[in-house]
Amino acid sequence: MTPNENTAIKARIERIRRLSSDDQGSTDWFEAASLAQTVLHDTLGGAHPLMAALDHALKSADWSRALAASRGVLELYDEGALKSPRLMIAHEIEGDFLDIGENIWGRSLVI
Walking along the chain (111 residues) 10 residues at a time, the average pLDDT comes out as 77 96 93 96 90 96 95 96 67 65 65 55
Is 31 inside a domain boundary?
A: yes
Is 23 inside a domain boundary?
A: yes
SS3 content of the chain, % helix, strand, coil (to 5): 75, 0, 25
- pLDDT, residue 73, reads 97
- pLDDT, residue 94, reads 63
Give me the number of domains the chain comprises: 1
Q: Which residues lie closer than 8 Å to 111 by C-beta, 6 or more apart? A: 94, 98
- pLDDT, residue 103, reads 73
CA dihedral 56, 40, 96, 101 (to 10 degrees): 110
- pLDDT, residue 28, reads 95
Is 109 inside a domain boundary?
A: no
- pLDDT, residue 96, reads 64
Is 92 inside a domain boundary?
A: no
Is 103 inside a domain boundary?
A: no
What is the extent of the structural domain holding 46? Answer: 3-83
- pLDDT, residue 52, reads 96
Is 93 inside a domain boundary?
A: no
Q: Output the furthest CA–CA distance in the chain (Å, rounded).
A: 60
User: How many angstroms separate the first and last alpha carbons of the chain?
Assistant: 16
Q: What is the amino acid identity at position 83?
A: K
Could you give the C-alpha distances from 31 to 20, 92, 100, in angstroms and in order?
9, 35, 46
Is 91 inside a domain boundary?
A: no
Is 106 inside a domain boundary?
A: no
